[in-house]
Homo-oligomer: A and B are copies of this chain.
Amino acid sequence: MKICIIGASGHYWSTLKAVQADPDASVIGVAPGAPGEEMENLVNHPHLGRTTLYDCYTAMLEKEKPDIVVVNSHFYLNGKIAANTVRRGIHTYTEKPMATTLDDLNDLRKAAQENPKVLLLAMQELRYGPAVIAAKQAIDSGVVGEIVQATAQKSYKIGNRPAFYRKQETYGGIIPWIGTHAIDWIHWYTGKRFISGYASQTRIGNRDHGEMESAATAVLALEGSIPATINLDFCRPVEAPTHGDDRIRIIGSKGVVEVKDNTATLITDTAGPVDLEIGPERNVFREIMDTVREKKSGLLLSTGESFYVSEVCLKLRTSAETGAIVDLR
């Protein structure tokens, strides 16, 4: 199985790990997706194996004819690149958000509709955290009852981000970039669609990152008027013990499940706090390769949800920019 990677500005790690572990797969080519894109981290990555570095990704695709392409360039280009690769009939695993504008997202959707045999997925791979999966299984088992409220947090250290993060046009905003995960968890856990949303964001304390927002919050009403919130920030202090501080809390009519520090904890009416049993690590790209091979894969992502979550995030960003409620129906 031949894999190509376009760009090195996102989450190519699960791909490298899965390919390295698979004797029948290799990353045969890599190429930048954006002018001047920094490729060093990928090219020098110890898990990469032997590959060819191309200057131009279209030349690479024509030469290598990959089975799957991984797209993770500067965020504003990912939608356009993915539309290109899908139209070439190549299975595409692309960075989230799938696009940073609704126009690009709609064009990508059109490309996908025109090529229904192409597998197209966004990197909502934070579904694959073992504690995240354990919580999902608990919710699906009915142990928390009917869902009443959902909250999710994404918090990161900002560090020193590349220049393209510092311009809204090339970055896309905090809600599409990290809010996608929070929105995706809530959608996936509840199985419900969003009705309306209202978001607020700021650049205070962004540590000289230009237009990049430091924090955002949003309220979402889900089908059945279930209230949800997300809170996002890039203010995790330098000395915090980990890079990120993801949290999810799902309240049900009979119990509450929370994910934090790679642990899923359940409290119910019949038992006090208990840490849920965590399954083995699963690799999303391994399951994507199996899906392409038409093997049973158990893949947790879907094309429809990939589009849906990106669309909700782009609309929520509009809410934060305009101060108006967005209709998400």
Contacts and interface: CB of A to CB of B under 8 A. Distances in A.
Interface of A: 145-149, 151, 153, 155, 196, 198-202, 204-205, 207, 214-221, 224-229, 231, 233, 235-241, 249, 251-256, 267-273, 323-325
Contact of A199 (B214, B219, B240): B219
A146 B216 CA distance: 15
Contacts of A220: 200
Contact of A151 (B149, B214, B231, B323): B231
Q: Which 3 A-B pairs have the closest CB atoms?
A: A205-B253, A200-B227, A198-B198
Contact of A272 (B153, B241, B267, B268): B241
A63 to B, nearest CB: 47
Contacts of A325: 198, 323-325
A205 to B, nearest CB: 3
A270 B237 CA distance: 8
Contacts of A229: 151, 217-219, 229, 231
B215 A218 contact: no
Given A200-B220, A237-B268, 11 more contacts: A146-B205, A148-B214, A151-B153, A201-B227, A204-B253, A217-B228, A219-B219, A229-B231, A233-B251, A238-B269, A238-B270
Contact of A205 (B148, B201, B238): B148
A201 B148 CA distance: 9
A181 B149 CA distance: 19
Contacts of A219: 198-200, 217-219, 229
8 contacts: A148-B202, A199-B219, A200-B221, A204-B224, A204-B226, A204-B253, A227-B231, A233-B251
A61 B268 CA distance: 46
A215 B199 contact: no
Contact of A225 (B151, B202, B273): B202
Given A148-B214, A227-B215, A239 B272 contact: yes
Given A198-B219, A323-B196, A149 B226 contact: no
A61 to B, nearest CB: 41
Contacts of A273: 240-241
Contacts of A221: 200, 323
